[in-house]
Structure 1
Amino acid sequence: MRATKPGVVTVTLNAAIDQTLECPGFTAGAVNRVVAETRTPGGKGINVAAFLAGGSRPVTAAGFLGEDNVALFEALFRDRDIQDRCLRLPGSSRVNIKVVDRTSGAVTDLNLPGLRVPEEALEALGATLDALTEDHGCFVLSGSVPAGVPATIYATLTERLRAKGAVVAVDTSGEPLRHAVAAQPDFVKPNVHELGELLGRPLKTPGDVGRAARDLHASGIGMVVVSLGAEGALFVSHDGAWRALPPPVEVASTVGAGDALVAGVLAARLDGSDLETCARRGTAFAAGKLARVGPVPPTPERVAALVGAVRMHPLGNA
């Protein structure tokens, strides 16, 4: 998986503002007092762009943003030197509210509806991506699909971009993932639940997950990474199969950890690293992100310290 052109483009069809409310003793149906609030720009592709920014490759964000609440995204792009090629649509990007009760450890999610994307906006996005293939060799298609967009969108874009010689990574779920896999992107990153749903069978043991990852790789996917949450991730490609276990770390927020994993693996792979190195760096990058709220990457020094603490286990052939 080597890109012939330097730039990386992340495509976010359903961007979000992540609003976190700290509310000790939160109780449904009662008056609750919020003691702290944070708002950060998000959406899986936006997160990946933020994590890749500042590395050795120029990063561009594409996709859709709502005109009514675009300021947080524009500030992120300026601060992280991300080229902004997102198309503006009438209305607001969705807001994802997390109510965090640290006394009990409970987290309550309230996800608002997002933009409705008209057909002409999809055509404009396709034209934008075609133009970006002139100097960008890798495209990351990630996140949910908003209203008005067909579930085949990632498959369509994968075929379109690969025909132009681009490396394509996909991180989504459900029907969009099912269609995308049939188009054979170079890299996919489902979690365990998404992989089981995709293959239509329960994955109850590590062996089940390993066999499922190999089956997906054998179907024509160059690299398969299966995230296991706090238990790390499985990595399968033509040069081997590994399980990576992260070291214990302080956790401020798990939001975006999977996107940090994608960014870390992708950056290492595009630099020509072998699968074991990709697994180590991706796992360390994701672990380092956990101490930060929002799409803020860990420092290179923190990643370097964590790389050596990642425990690696080769997967057998069973």
Structure 2
Amino acid sequence: MIVTLTANPSLDRAVTLSGPLRPGEVQTARSTREDAGGKGINVARVIDAAGRETLAVLPLDDEDPFAAALRAAHVPSLAVAVHGAARANLTIADSEGTTTKINLPGVARTHADADALIAAVVSATASASWLVLAGSLPPGLPDDFYVRVIDAVRAAHDRAPLIAVDASGPALHAVVARAHPDLIKPNDEELAELAGIALDGARDLAEAVHDVARTLVPTQVGAAFVTLGAQGAVLVTADGAWHGTPPPTRVRSTVGAGDSSLAGFLLARVAGAEAEECVRTGIRYGSAAAALPGTQAPTPADLLPGDVPVRSLAP
């Protein structure tokens, strides 16, 4: 069982244009779609589509239109009753796959909402192998909310699940400083901001990312799976580091690609795969998501053909 928490879910509206985005002009959309989104929900959708057991924990108002989108996605979920609709995010993708995102902040949540979410996660993770804490925090929740979740889960269970965190900014800083997660999944820019070390632009990106990640692994986090967009991903653990590059991909939307990469990585991990295969599977799922419009969850049938070379990086 892989449990995810999405504290700030979003109704993702995707608009695809037939040409480039022209700011200030009126354009006609080629297509539109609407999906139940938020990082943890995206991860759960991919895991469920692959036939693995998952549960997405989230706050939800019964009268929120988001509820209908969530039902349509057929994601196993545990909704915590709150007041106020989920935010709506807008993504505009042009004909070349370049995306422009407009993300709203979300409804402010209360201390009672936070306590209810933590209680739900503790209950849901009684027999879970992984807990994924993913996405931004809504207004009203403190920067250390994920730390509180981790502390509560580890205190409640003799065999607590492994913890993966896909966040950024103060929420990620708090987790790394105080909670020692088993896995973080930043992109290269988020990693540099987290570590306070600029990436050396004169070096190979994977090598530069490896060096920065090594300042955190394993002293502050168990492992870092760092996504690099078109340049693949880097995994850094206490035992080694690996870089994989994606297969040829016609990008239609990058929304949710990082979430799908994390889901693919975890699917391989729970299946007992070695580190290289975890990297490879994560990249395959991320590339498959990028090739789909909107915030669609790639299935195993959507995985792209072509090799995903994985190389070891020097210690």
**Is 1:239–1:275's contact at 8 Å kept on the other side of the alignment?**
no
**Is 2:86–2:106's contact at 8 Å kept on the other side of the alignment?**
yes
1:193 and 2:189 aligned: yes
Pairing 1:95-106 to 2, within 5 Å after superposition:
95-102=88-95
Residue of structure 2 in register with 1:232 after alignment: 232
1:111 and 2:103 aligned: yes
State the Cα RMSD in Å: 2.0
1:34 and 2:32 aligned: no
**Is 2:49–2:299's contact at 8 Å kept on the other side of the alignment?**
no
Amino acid at match of 2:188: V
Q: 1:115 to 1:74 in 2, by over 3 A?
A: farther
**Is 1:268–1:278's contact at 8 Å kept on the other side of the alignment?**
yes
Residue of structure 1 in register with 2:70 after alignment: 73
Q: How far apart are the structure 1 equivalents of 2:298 and 2:98?
A: 25
Q: How far apart are the structure 2 equivalents of 1:8 and 1:105?
A: 31
Residue of structure 2 in register with 1:20 after alignment: 14
Residue of structure 2 in register with 1:256 after alignment: 256
Residue of structure 2 in register with 1:57 after alignment: 52
1:137-177 Cα deviation digits (max 9, x unpaired): 32100000110000101112122223321211000000100
What is the Cα deviation at residue 275 of structure 1? 0.7
1:226-284 Cα deviation digits (max 9, x unpaired): 11111001001133210000111122211111001100111111222111111111111
Q: How far apart are the structure 2 equivalents of 1:96 and 1:231?
A: 26
What is the Cα deviation at residue 34 of structure 1? 2.8
Q: So what's the TM-score if we normalise by structure 1?
A: 0.89
Amino acid at match of 1:122: A
**Is 1:12–1:141's contact at 8 Å kept on the other side of the alignment?**
yes
- Equivalent of residue 89 in structure 1, options 62, 65, 82: 82
1:259-316 Cα deviation digits (max 9, x unpaired): 011001111112221111111111112112222124444443554x64x600111101
* 3-state secondary structure, aligned to 1:53: helix
Q: How far apart are the structure 2 equivalents of 1:89 and 1:99?
A: 30
**Is 2:99–2:254's contact at 8 Å kept on the other side of the alignment?**
no
Runs in 1 of length 4+ with deviation above 6 angstroms? none
Q: How far apart are the structure 1 equivalents of 2:91 and 2:14?
A: 5
Q: How far apart are the structure 2 equivalents of 1:302 and 1:55?
A: 11
What is the Cα deviation at residue 43 of structure 1? 0.7
What is the Cα deviation at residue 105 of structure 1? 6.0
**Is 2:97–2:253's contact at 8 Å kept on the other side of the alignment?**
no
Q: Name which of structure 1's ranges 90-99 and 39-48 shifts more when overlaid on structure 2.
A: 90-99
Q: How far apart are the structure 1 equivalents of 2:289 and 2:24?
A: 34
Amino acid at match of 2:107: L
Q: 1:26 to 1:277 in 2, by over 3 A?
A: closer
Q: How far apart are the structure 2 equivalents of 1:110 and 1:286?
A: 21
Q: How far apart are the structure 1 equivalents of 2:15 and 2:299?
A: 26
What is the Cα deviation at residue 135 of structure 1? 2.6
Q: How far apart are the structure 1 equivalents of 2:218 and 2:51?
A: 31
**Is 1:243–1:313's contact at 8 Å kept on the other side of the alignment?**
yes
What is the Cα deviation at residue 220 of structure 1? 3.7
Unaligned ranges ≥5, structure 2: none
**Is 2:186–2:226's contact at 8 Å kept on the other side of the alignment?**
yes
Q: 1:211 to 1:147 in 2, by over 3 A?
A: same
How many aligned residue pairs are there? Answer: 304
**Is 1:239–1:274's contact at 8 Å kept on the other side of the alignment?**
no
What is the Cα deviation at residue 15 of structure 1? 0.7
1:35-74 Cα deviation digits (max 9, x unpaired): 3221111110010000000445321110223442221012
**Is 1:59–1:83's contact at 8 Å kept on the other side of the alignment?**
yes
Amino acid at match of 2:114: L
**Is 2:130–2:163's contact at 8 Å kept on the other side of the alignment?**
yes
Q: So what's the TM-score if we normalise by structure 2?
A: 0.89
Q: How far apart are the structure 1 equivalents of 2:154 and 2:98?
A: 42
**Is 1:241–1:314's contact at 8 Å kept on the other side of the alignment?**
yes
Amino acid at match of 1:126: I
What is the Cα deviation at residue 108 of structure 1? 3.2
1:315 and 2:313 aligned: yes
**Is 1:162–1:168's contact at 8 Å kept on the other side of the alignment?**
no
